[in-house]
A and B are shown apart, each in its own frame.
Chain A
Amino acid sequence: MAEAEPSRHEYQLVEPSPWPIRGGISALLLASGLLIWIYQLIWPAWIVFALGVLGVAGTMVGWWREVVREGEAHEHTPVVQLSLRYGMILFICSEVMFFVAWFWAYFNTALFPADGQQIIRDQVIGGQWPPQGIVTSNPWELPLLMTVILLSSAGTVTWAHHSLLKNNRRGLKIGLICTVLLGTAFTCVQAYEFLTAPFNYGGNVYGGIFFMATGFHGAHVIIGTIFLTVCLGRAFAGQFTPQEHLGLIFAAWYWHFVDVVWLFLFAFVYVWGT
């Protein structure tokens, strides 16, 4: 049997890097800073948390800038690109499971408001969902607007991607600009919704679950918008080719994940839960 040529590997070995330790220290500052702030352990109480935020943000910028440089320097061979795809998919899977926890909390009470065994809770909620005394907002006003905004933005990001595939860079840029604007619009509408909600965050399970679930979703929208803005900047800088544009693909995947989570929220929290 003829021996095949021995293959030199095409994986990416990385030189020693300071970003992981910087990230670890920043995470420690962020975590401890949060508690120092909550418990007012030093003065000014927010200073360690602020350092942590700067550290984490700085680590993200520095590290991902390095990754982009490595990509532009052709270190991302096809097998490395496949690894990056696996990594992004698995990361999004972990985010999906995070939202599973919040939906579990929601359905735990919404499906069984009159438990029978939990006497105090039954009295407080009044055996119904939404709980007694809670006025919910009309799902066909702001929430419907937010749904339309996000679904449109899914369309515009797909338009941007397909434009790039056809080497239409103008379409790529305009599509991304529209997506970023729509994402920002969603966040603004949600901020307005939060500020004018007819129920409180604290003291009641409806408010707690509503604000935490939609709030974490909103945070992911902001993250996705930032990711897309970075892609927009890279598009203007002439990066991304029709053949290689993993950053854009990952931003689009993330954006679709955010969109799907919203659809579940809209269907089960806003529409069904009213």
Chain B
Amino acid sequence: MGRTTTTVPGAGAAHDRPVGWRRFVYATNHKDIGTLYLLFALCASLVGTALSIFIRLELHEPGLQFFTNPQYYNVVVTAHGLVMIFFVLMPALIGGFGNWMVPLMIGAPDMAFPRLNNLSFWLLVASFTMFISSAFFGGAPGTTGAGTGWTLYPLLSTKGHPGPSVDFVILALHLAGASSILGAINFITTILNMRAPGMTMHKMPLYVWSILITATMLVLALPVLAGAVTMLLVDRNFGATFFDPQGGGDPLLFQHLFWFFGHPEVYIMILPAFGIISTVIATFSRKPIFGYLGMVYAMVSIGLIGFVVWAHHMYTVGLAADVQAYFVAASLVIAVPTGIKIFSWIATMWGGSIEFRTPMLWAIGFIFLFTVGGVTGVMLANAGVDRVLQDTYFVVAHFHYVLSLGAVFGIFAGWYYWFPKMTGYMLSETIGHVHFWVTFIGVNILFFPQHFLGLAGMPRRVADYPDAFEGWNYVSSIGAYVAVLGALIFFFGLAEAFYRKRHAPDNPWGEGATTLEWTLSSPPPFHQFEVLPRIK
């Protein structure tokens, strides 16, 4: 058997560093596990992006070009959503950056449960395997794959898909859910129990707060999804009738349960990005964040209120008017703490010494574009408006602005900010700037026209459309190809950094970078903070 560890001569057991494949497969080091998650998210992003290109290629012109059976278009749309949410955004923001940076930022040597951390990662790999498998099994009669939308509503997902495909998706969600719940337990325990001496909760970096709130939401929301998809499983295979009216069931029950999870889920995706943006804006304004407590409690409010607004995804199902009125009010309320954050980021930059390094471009882009997505969200929160816009491209434009132009910009901001710390190499500023601008232009050309399509009445999840929608669809598809060019530039930049090997100092960003990871070497030692830092 090969060696598992190598010992630094003269050092104690704590300096043993694992070598070989066991270092990563049996990993118990939060930095290695974070790397695994980031590489996983990178690979999954290739799949998710390819799926989105298939969509835009089909919608480039009216008529059915590639998907002669439109059910396969539905399968691609479903896969695009599930892959991006569960295998790209969450692994990158929470599993990747969370694992890497939370222990460093609180001055801890690792996570509270290092082995459980690794289990979370391998469960995600198992989940992705189940999900990919779903494409190869029967779905709707005569086709393969699950073409239900990522929301899996019955009865399309029960009676409408008699083959095993949807069952593979259900079990993939179980595994991903378990992965995230265990990871969330790990993060909450680590953050509550392992902060360095002197680091009170109100001295924690905002990114750590964002992960704490996100993890709490995961623990509370994901089990409800598990229950909902288990009901789907037994309806499909064991004769239960949770959602079948013929047996006394209620299809709306699934929608309630799904969105009780689903709405917190979208805040789960954006809150870590908020944390990254706060970190980057403060660093490159050389000023502490404006209104730290306001930022903290804005995130707490978003997390709490996020649990009581779910039915704004269900305005067209026939809920009572009073019920809809409540959800309108509650959904509008969430705009307030979110607005506090936007204004606080701007106030942070005001009077600061701004340096437009690549991470800062992504962060400023985020503030502008997330705000656009946020205001269309406020529009959709109104049930009367949503009566017309539900299931149109206006909704698609809204959530892609907050996700593709919000969460994804947050990921790139974090990537460019922390890459030197994680790898020890500097990325090229020039390539980074080109990547940003090409992507910025591309995704705006891609998604902005979709507002017009939605207002004009183009439905979502359709493989073909009336000729009247041709113009903006053509423009939108061009934007997609430009965005892909941006992605290629990104990968080129990665390769260039590893080729050039420009060594990164402990802190490449200057006095604005005040969190603890910048006190360590780039990359950090295998075990850090064996002596705990004291925080004043």
CB distance from B219 to the nearest CB of A (A): 5
Q: Does A206 contact B (CB under 8 A)?
A: yes
A93 — which chain B residues lie within 8 A by C-beta?
Answer: 219-220
**B118-138: which have CB < 8 Å to A?**
118-119, 121-123, 125-126, 129-130, 133
* Binary per-residue interface labels of chain A (147-169) against chain B in the complex, 1 for a CB within 8 Å, 0 otherwise: 00000000000000000000000
Given contacts A27-B126, A98-B227, contact A201 B238 (CB under 8 A): yes
Cα(A27)–Cα(B130), bound, Å: 11
CB-CB contacts below 8 Å: A15-30 with B: 15-21, 23-25, 27-28
The one of B118, B248, B534 that contacts A124, using a Cβ cutoff of 8 Å? B248
B257 touches A105 (CB 8 A): yes
Query: B189 contacts A83, CB within 8 Å?
Result: yes
- From B164, B189, B228, A87 is in contact (CB under 8 Å) with B189
Contact A9–B109 (Cβ < 8 Å): yes
Interface residue A261 (Cβ < 8 Å from any Cβ of B): no
B339 within 8 A of A: no
**Residue on B nearest A27 in the bound complex, by CB:** B126
* Interface mask (A196-220 → B, CB under 8 Å = 1, otherwise 0): 0000011111101100100000000
Bound together, the chains give a CA A19 to CA B250 distance in angstroms of: 41
Contact residues, A160-188 vs B (CB, 8 A) = none
Tally inter-chain residue pairs, CB-CB below 8 A.
224
Across the interface, which residues of B come within 8 angstroms of A202, CB to CB? 238-241
Chain A residues contacting B167 (CB-CB under 8 Å) are: 35, 38-39
Given contact pairs A105-B242, A205-B248, A20 touches B534 in the complex (Cβ within 8 A) = no
Once the chains bind, are A83 and B171 in contact (CB under 8 Å)?
no
Q: Provide the B207-243 mask, 1 if CB < 8 A to any CB of A, else 0.
A: 0000000000001111110111011001001111110
Chain B residue contacts of A35, Cβ below 8 A: 164, 167-168, 171
The answer to whether A28 touches B118, judged by C-beta atoms less than 8 angstroms apart, is: no
- Interface stretch, picked from A113-121, A224-232, A252-260, A262-270, is A113-121
Residues from chain B with a CB closer than 8 A to the CB of A15 are: 4-5, 16, 28
Please determine whether B240 and A90 come into contact, CB atoms closer than 8 angstroms. no
Q: Residue B194 at the A interface, CB < 8 A?
A: yes
**B110 beta carbon closer than 8 Å to chain A:** yes
Nearest-neighbor residue (CB-CB) of B107 within chain A: A9
Place the interface of chain B in its size category. Answer: 35 or more
Given contacts A97-B224, A212-B240, contact A203 B532 (CB under 8 A): no
Q: B253 contacts A124, CB within 8 Å?
A: no
- Is A91 interfacial (CB 8 A cutoff)? yes
Contact count band on A: 35 or more
In the bound complex, what is the Cα–Cα distance between A205 and B527 (angstroms)? 55
B246 at the interface (CB under 8 A from A): yes
Which single residue of chain A is at the shortest CB-CB distance from B244? Answer: A205
A101 to B171, CA, bound (A): 17
Given contacts A27-B175, A83-B113, A104-B257, is CB(A21)–CB(B118) below 8 Å?
yes
Contact check, A23 vs B119: say whether CB atoms are below 8 A apart: yes
B346 part of interface (Cβ distance < 8 Å): no
Contacts known (A4-B534, A83-B189, A101-B224); A24 close to B122, Cβ less than 8 A: yes
Q: A86: which B residues are within 8 A, CB to CB?
A: 112, 185, 188-189, 192-193
A245 to B250, CA, bound (A): 47
A87 touches B4 (CB 8 A): no
Q: Do B26 and A17 have beta carbons less than 8 Å apart?
A: yes
Q: Are A38 and B118 in touch, CB under 8 angstroms?
A: no
Whether the Cβ atoms of A205 and B108 lie closer than 8 Å is: no
Q: Is the CB of B193 within 8 A of A82?
A: yes
Counting chain B CB atoms within 10 Å of each CB, the highest count among A7, A38, A93, A97 belongs to A97
Which of A17, A95, A109, A212 is in CB contact (< 8 Å) with B115?
A17
Cβ of A125 to closest chain B Cβ, rounded Å: 5
B201 to chain A minimum Cβ distance, whole angstroms, is: 14
Known: A94-B219, A117-B318. A201 touches B164 (CB 8 A): no
Minimum CB distance partner of B124 in chain A:
A24
Chain B residues whose C-beta falls within 8 Å of the C-beta of A143 in the assembled complex: none
In the bound complex, CA of A108 to CA of B119 (Å) = 35
Q: Considering the chains assembled together, what is the distance between the CA atoms of A199 and B216 in angstroms?
A: 39
A120 contacts across to B, CB distance below 8 A: 245-246
Residues of B close to A131: CB separation below 8 A: 248
Judged by a CB distance under 8 angstroms, whether A13 is at the interface is yes
Are B26 and A90 in contact (CB-based, < 8 A)? no
Which residues on A sit within 8 Å (CB–CB) of B164? 35, 38-39, 41
B14 at the interface (CB under 8 A from A): yes
CB B77 to nearest CB in A, in angstroms, measures 23
B241 pairs with A6, CB closer than 8 A? no
Whether a CB of chain A sits under 8 angstroms from the CB of B530 is: yes
CA distance A82 to B18 in the complex (A): 28
Q: Which residues of the other chain, A, contact B185 by a CB distance below 8 angstroms?
A: 86-87, 90-91, 94
**What residues of B have a CB within 8 angstroms of the CB of A28 in the complex?**
126, 129-130, 175
Beta-carbon contact of A203 and B168 below 8 Å: no
Q: Provide the bound-state CA to CA distance between A9 and B532, in Å.
A: 6
A87 to B193, CA, bound (A): 11
- Interface pair B247/A205, CB less than 8 Å apart: yes
Q: Could you say which residues of chain B place their CB within 8 Å of the CB of A41?
A: 164
Q: Complex Cα distance A208/B158, Å? A: 15
Give the distance in Å from the alpha carbon of A131 to the alpha carbon of B189 in the complex.
Answer: 45
Query: Which residues from chain A contact B26 at a C-beta distance below 8 Å?
Result: 16-18, 20-21
Interface check A42, CB cutoff 8 A: no
The answer on a CB contact under 8 Å between A17 and B227 is: no
Q: Does B174 contact A (CB under 8 A)?
A: yes
Q: How far is the CA of A39 from the CA of B162 in the complex (A)?
A: 11
Contact of A27 (CB < 8 Å), options: B28, B123, B224, B238? B123
State whether A6 touches B248 (Cβ < 8 A). Answer: no
Looking across the interface, which residue of chain A has its beta carbon closest to that of B198? A4
Interface centre among B116, B123, B168, B223 (most CB of A within 10 A): B223
State in angstroms the CA–CA spacing of A6 and B168 once bound together. Answer: 52
Check: A8 CB closer than 8 A to any chain B CB. Answer: yes
- Measured in the bound complex, the distance between the Cα atoms of B226 and A87 in whole Å is 20
What 5 A-B pairs are tightest by C-beta distance, nearest first? Answer: A101-B227, A24-B122, A202-B239, A205-B248, A16-B26
Other 7 A-B pairs with CB < 8 A, given A24-B121, A97-B223, A204-B241: A4-B534, A24-B119, A24-B123, A34-B171, A86-B185, A90-B219, A91-B185
The interface of chain A, by Cβ under 8 A from chain B, is: 4, 6-9, 11-21, 23-25, 27-28, 31-32, 34-35, 38-39, 41, 63, 79, 82-83, 86-87, 90-91, 93-95, 97-98, 100-102, 104-105, 108-109, 115, 117-118, 120-121, 124-125, 131, 201-206, 208-209, 212
Q: Mark B residues whose CB is within 8 Å of A.
A: 4-5, 14, 16, 18, 22-23, 25-28, 108-110, 112-116, 118-119, 121-123, 125-126, 129-130, 133, 164, 167-168, 171-172, 174-175, 178, 181, 184-186, 188-190, 192-194, 197, 219-224, 226-228, 230-231, 234, 237-242, 245-250, 252-253, 256-257, 260, 318, 527, 529-532, 534
Can you list 29 pairs linking A and B with CB atoms under 8 Å apart? A8-B530, A9-B108, A9-B109, A13-B14, A15-B4, A16-B5, A17-B115, A17-B118, A19-B115, A20-B26, A20-B118, A21-B122, A23-B119, A27-B126, A31-B175, A32-B171, A35-B168, A35-B171, A38-B164, A39-B164, A83-B190, A86-B185, A94-B185, A101-B231, A105-B253, A105-B257, A109-B253, A204-B247, A208-B234
